[in-house]
């Protein structure tokens, strides 16, 4: 039995039929072919699949696709705009916040929520708030550094000005 879902993904409206058991993560990857969102576990522990659902960071493996009906979703593919990386993406490159890149999409989406919603982030709070995302490569050191740098950009309100030099290469 299929459900009809209709939602916005990265500004594009999409309509599909899905089985009730289809997870949002599977929907994005298999039905929409948006493979930037990754699946790293089957117990909702790793955060690789994190996307923004109406602005909130959500592990897309914890939601059925039909539950996303009517929402607006942002995935890693939709973060850069006007040929420029989002400040969190730019900070990851600047501070070597990624190695293999597999946790990165979910990590970046979680951090986008952090820097947008929290004031006064410091190392300790970032480490607490990021504990839903596992990275096996970086030991988190540079992820924390990148997060604090991106938060600074937000705080100073000069996101666009500071990162105009980070042109997309693809």
Partner 1 sequence: MGTMTSKRESGTVPNGIGRSVKRTEDARFLLGKGRYTDDLRIPGQAYIYVVRSPHAHANITSLDASEAKSASGVVDVLIGSDYLDDGLGTLPCIWQVRNKNGSVMAEPARYPVAVDRVRYVGDAVAVVIAETLDQAKDAADLIVVEYEPLAAVVAGPDAIMPQAPIVHNDAPGNLCFDWEIGNRAATEDAFSRAHHITRLDVINSRIVPNPMEPRSVVAIYDDIADEYTLHTSTQNPHLVRSLLCKSVLRIPEHKVRVVSADVGGGFGVKCHLYPEEVLLTWAARRCGRPVRWTADRSETFLSDAHARDHVTHGELALDSDGTFLGLRVSTVANLGAYLSTWSASIPTYASAPNLAGQYTTPAIYAEVKGVFTNTVPVDAYRGAGRPEANYIVERLIDAAAREMGLDRVEIRRRNLVPSAAMPYATPLGPVYDSGDFRKCLDMAAGNADYEGLAERKQDALRRGKLLGLGVSCYIEACGVSPSRANGISGGRIGGFEMAEIRFNPDGSATVFSGTHSHGQGHETVFAQIVTDKLGVPFESVMLVQGDTARIAFGHGTVGSRSAAVGGSAIVVAGERIVAKGKRIAAHIMEVDVEDVHFEDGEFRSRGTNKVMTIAEIAHAAYLPINYPLDQMDPGLDEICFYDPTNFTFPNGTQICELEIDPQTGHVELKRFVVADDFGRILNPMIVHGQVHGGIAQGVGQALLETVVYDADSGQLLTGSFMDYAMPRSCDLPSFEVSYHEDSPCTHNPLGVKGCGEAGTIGAATAVMNAVLDAMSSVGVDHMDMPASPSRVWRALRAATSKLPRPTASASATAGNGNQVGNAHGE
Chain residues in the site for ligand FES (CB under 6 A): 25, 39-41, 44-49, 59, 61, 98-104, 135-138
Among 54, 70, 131, 155, binds partner 1 (CB under 8 A): 131
Q: What share of the chain is helix, strand, coil (3-state, %, to 5)?
A: 35, 20, 45
Binding-residue pattern over the window 146 to 165 for partner 1, x denoting contact by CB under 8 A = --------------------
Q: Compare residues 96 and 155 and give the one whose CB is closer to ligand FES.
A: 96
Exactly one of 5, 7, 24, 48 binds partner 1 (CB under 8 A); which one? 48
Rounded Cα gap, residues 7 and 115, in angstroms: 25
Handedness of CA 64, 53, 72, 101 (dihedral sign): negative
By three-state DSSP, how is residue 93 classified? helix
Output 46 or 159, the one with its CB closest to ligand FES.
46
Identify the H or E element spanning 3: strand 3-9
Residue 49 interacts with, from ligand FES, partner 1, none (CB under 5-8 Å by kind) = ligand FES
Contact (CB, 8 A) for 23 and 42: no
DSSP class of residue 114 equals H
For 126, the token pair is 């970032």
Site map (CB under 8 A) of partner 1, residues 7-26, x = contact: ------------x-x-----
Half-sphere exposure of 59 (CA within 13 A, CB side): 18
Beta-ladder partners of 58: 51
With respect to ligand FES, which residue has the nearer C-beta, 129 or 159? 129
**Pick 2 or 70: Cβ nearer partner 1:** 2
Which tokens belong to 45?
A: 């522990």
Is 35 a binder of partner 1 (CB under 8 A)? yes
Site for partner 1, rule CB under 8 A: 19, 21, 33-43, 45-46, 48, 75-77, 79-80, 85, 89, 92-94, 96, 98-105, 108, 123-124, 126-128, 130-131, 133-145, 168-170
């Amino acid at each position: 039995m299929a459900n009809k879902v209709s939602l916005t993904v990265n500004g594009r409206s999409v309509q599909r039929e899905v089985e009730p058991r289809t997870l949002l993560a599977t929907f994005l990857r298999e039905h929409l072919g948006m493979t930037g969102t990754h699946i790293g576990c089957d117990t909702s522990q790793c955060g690789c699949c994190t996307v923004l659902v109406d602005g909130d960071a959500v592990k897309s493996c914890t939601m059925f696709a039909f539950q996303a009906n009517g929402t607006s979703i942002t995935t890693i593919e939709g973060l850069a705009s006007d040929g420029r990386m989002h400040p969190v993406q730019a900070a990851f490159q600047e501070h070597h916040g990624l190695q293999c890149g597999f946790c990165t999409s979910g990590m970046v989406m979680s951090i986008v929520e952090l820097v947008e919603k929290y004031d006064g982030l410091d190392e300790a709070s970032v480490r607490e708030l990021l504990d839903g995302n596992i990275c096996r490569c970086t030991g988190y050191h540079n992820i924390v550094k990148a997060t604090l740098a991106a938060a600074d950009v937000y705080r100073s309100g000069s996101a666009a000005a500071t990162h105009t030099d980070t042109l997309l290469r693809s």
